[in-house]
Structure formats: structure tokens, C-alpha cells
Amino acid sequence: MLDAKRFRSEHFEFFCELETSGEFVAEAVGYLEGTLAAVRALPIELRARPPQGWERFVTTFAATETLEKMLQGVPRMHPAESPMAAYFPEHRQIVVPYDVIDGRSREGLMTLKLKEDYGVLIHEIMHQVIDGSLEILPFWLTDGLAEYLALIPQSGGEFRFSEAEAGLRNALGTRYSADVQEIIHPVDLLAPPGEFRWPNDLAAHRSALLIVYYLSVLEDKQPVTGDNALAKACPRVAGRR
């Protein structure tokens, strides 16, 4: 797709449009592999594996202008005002602009240091790795799970699920509009297909996040990796990977 350097980790193959440092590669691997591990730790078993016939998931780190061109006329999976990362289902890959990850040049090489709000990148990686489950998951649940994972405090790809409450408070105070005061009623979210249209805006993402958070943590008052209400609420997904 691009004239770029190629790197590989256990589950990902990623391309860098610019010359990059070893530090950049190591941190990129941490975020990609760490997010996949966190997805697999969720209380429902998702088909978190590369597309059929592929050995790895594919990600590209590119200039912002490259992503802008690719996004022309393409619906975005996350309602960000500016392109912070994007998952392209038709290509089954994520494209991440360097300025979002705070790529800085040092001695002619790009070094990686994610900005404080790395949530959109985590959100898009989540969409990528569970793409194989999308036909059996409603939109609100996939976005709710992606938003939930994005708020978990982490460093170097190590997600600290025990600090989910602190992550939620921070996300509600920084990632969502202060004008959003109400959530979509769970009855509407759980309506049969065709009776509720997923709006894919910040208010909808916030609603899905809060419901997933409740099912994952509050309802049973136990860590998200346990056998809790989220798994019980999604019997069609449980046991399928």
C-alpha cells in the first residue's frame, strides 16, 4: 500500500512510512500486542485473530496527509474531530498518523511517544482484532468494548484493569463532551436489528461505554476478566474465538 519499512511482531506486521528508531518499533509492538492481549482477557471470547489466510494483523504508521487522503469519503469508526487513527475494514488494517503518536525526529529517525490520550488508537486496534466477530456483535457492544479498553490505564502495553474506575473518571472528564448528560436507554440498545440505528457519535459511545462498564465491573463487583454479567449477557459470543 505504501513505500514503507516493514516490521513484524508475534501477531502484527506493521509498516512505517518514515525511517524509524528501534525505540519506536519497540513501543509500537507494546501497544499493538498489549491491546490484543487485553482483548483476549475480556470476559467474552472474541475471534481475536488475523483474517483467514493472514499470519498477522496489519498496521501502517504514516504521515497525516496520507491518512487524510485515505479517509476521503470513508465513514469513520470513531467520531473523532480529527483523524487520530482509522481502521479500514475493507483492507483489515489500521493507519496511524505520526503526529497523533507524537512521533519526533531524533538524529533523522522517528521516535515514538504516545500522547496522553492514546484512547483512539486502542479503540481502533480493538476494532481490528475483533473484526472476525463483527457479524455476531451489535454496533453498540463493539464500540462499548473498544471505549472500555481505551480507558484502562496502561503503560508499555500492560493494561491495569484494577484501575478501571480511575480510567473511567478520567475519560468522562476529558474524552466526552460536557454537554452529554444522558445515555441511550439500554432497552433501545438491545432492541432487535432494524429498530434502533446506531448513531456513532460521542453521546452513543459514552452510552455504550457506561453500559459495558456496568456489565463488566459494577454488576458483579469483580474484575473485568472474571465470569461476570458481560459474559452472561452475550451468550452468542461466549466460547467462540
Q: How confident is the model at residue 239 (pLDDT cuts 50, 70, 90)?
A: very low
Q: Is the pLDDT of residue 196 over 80?
A: no
Residue 36 lies in a domain: yes
Q: Which of 142-151, 152-161, 201-210, 213-222 has the lowest mean pLDDT?
A: 213-222
Displacement of CA 120 from its chain's centroid (Å):
6
Query: What is the rounded CA–CA span in Å between residue 54 and residue 69?
Result: 26
Residue 155 lies in a domain: yes
Burial class of 84 by CB neighbour count within 10 A (0 to 12, 13 to 18, 19+): buried
Residue 50 lies in a domain: yes
Q: Is the pLDDT of residue 12 over 70?
A: yes
- The predicted pLDDT at position 117 comes to 56
Residue 241 lies in a domain: no
Q: Is the pLDDT of residue 197 over 70?
A: yes
Residue type, 24: F
Residue 240 lies in a domain: no
Phi–psi pair at 159, nearest 5 degrees: -85, 130
Q: How confident is the model at residue 56 (pLDDT cuts 50, 70, 90)?
A: very high
Whose cell is 481475536? That residue is 48
Q: What is the mean pLDDT of the chain?
A: 75
64 vs 160, which has greater pLDDT? 160
Q: Which of 55-59, 93-97, 196-200 has the highest mean pLDDT?
A: 55-59
Collapsed DSSP state (helix, strand, coil) of residue 93 = strand
What CATH number does the domain containing 186 carry?
1.10.390
- The predicted pLDDT at position 241 comes to 31
- The predicted pLDDT at position 84 comes to 67
Residue 25 lies in a domain: yes
pTM for the model: 0.79
Q: What integer is the mean pLDDT of 44-66? A: 86
What is the total count of domains within the chain?
Answer: 1
- The predicted pLDDT at position 75 comes to 58
Q: What integer is the mean pLDDT of 117-133? A: 83
Residue 239 lies in a domain: no
Q: Which domain holds residue 107?
A: 5-233
Q: Is the pLDDT of residue 240 over 50?
A: no
82 vs 91, which has greater pLDDT? 91
Instruction: Tell me the angle at which helices 202-213 and 164-174 cross, rounded to the nearest 10 degrees.
Output: 160
Q: Is the pLDDT of residue 225 over 50?
A: no
Query: What is the rounded CA–CA span in Å between residue 240 and residue 164?
Result: 25
Q: What integer is the mean pLDDT of 152-173? A: 86
Q: What integer is the mean pLDDT of 91-106? A: 69
Q: Is the pLDDT of residue 110 over 50?
A: no
Residue 179 lies in a domain: yes
Q: What integer is the mean pLDDT of 180-209? A: 78
Residues 6+ apart with CB under 8 A from 183: 203, 206, 207, 210, 211
